[in-house]
Structure 1
Amino acid sequence: MNKHEFLDHLERLLKSLPRQERQKMLAYYAEMIDDRMEEGMSEQEAVQDLGDAGMLAEQIVSAQPSKEKKLSNPMKVLIIVLIVLGSPLWACLLLALLALICTGILLILTGYIMIWLIPVLSATIMVASLILCIISLIGSPFLMVSSFMTGLLQLGVGLIAAGLSILLGLFTIYASRYFIKATMSFSHWLKEHLFYRLKEVHVWQS
């Protein structure tokens, strides 16, 4: 690698530096190459003696002073004062955002509750009918001892409750299949129409 190639390569590696600083570095290393050539080295030997251009560029860039600007104390105080003064505004906005999130969650839960209201209600009546059936069937023999007609009536109520509990149990089982499908469809709809849109506006990811 000759002098021109070395300096051209070094310039490309130092593109992150300001132009004036970059030209200063290039002039410095060009002078170092010239000094070595005056001492008797060939152009290639002088370039090789400087070392790898990549390592030199790393050293030059790392030696540059940091350009991060630190806030002065008066500026920090001003920012704190602005935050305190603006607290009523951003606190109200934060509360409004939380209210919207809670409302959305409640609406989603309401959707699931509405879907499962019928099978849950039928299952509840089924359990109540089953309890009534057991109590009536167990108690009817004791009632027949004192009053045959009352005990017979109680037995009939127990049998009706048993039939009702069986019918409601079958209805709950078959209805639950359809309501499971409805729940999956509702969840799919939420995923497509709500969650994907939130992702598009970069709300979901944050």
Structure 2
Amino acid sequence: MTKQEYLSAIRGKIRKMPADDINKFMDYYSEMIDDRMEDGLSEEEAVADMDAPDDVVDQILADMPLTKLVKEKIKPSHRLKAWEIILLILGSPIWAPLLLTAIVLVIAMAVVILALLLSFYVIVLSMAVAGIAGLLGVIPFFVTQNVPAALFMLGAAFAGIGLAILFIVAVKPVTIGIFKLYKASVNGIKRMFVKER
């Protein structure tokens, strides 16, 4: 693949982005290829050394703020005519509540997921605190020489600490998965704004 084909493949996937951003990214990746060629690689080798165009587009979308893409997408390509303004106003009792409902649902879903995640961490913390408190609670039983109660308290303390360790091991991948899902969702929304109709 030549440098021009590589840059064209990237440009084709981000052509709905603002023109100044497209030019900035094209200049950046063109310079990266040129740097590799200055280091002694041929044009094809320099391009082969680069990330795949799809990976580059993913990185560009990850770096681009969603608000900038939305502003560019909703910017009218022409001045609104009087009849378009009238239709927007007359249709607002339908589209405004639907838009508001969609926004509230997305926010509510994010809050529920984060609350669920936070509750998992609170459970883990409470088990750890209960385990440590149980270890400290063993001391009075040993002082009064109540060995059966001391052993029971010691077992309960170790169970609490063990469960805390088990849950923290289980909750960590869930946390990472939720944040990866969030990032993939945002990137998916960004792709909707840059792809052609």
- Shorter chain as denominator, the TM-score bin is 0.3 to 0.5
Which protein, 1 or 2, shows the higher relative CO under an 8 Å CA cutoff with sep ≥ 6? 2
TM score, norm. by length of structure 2? 0.40
Task: Please give the TM-score of this superposition, normalised by the length of structure 1.
Answer: 0.38
The structure that has the greater radius of gyration is 1
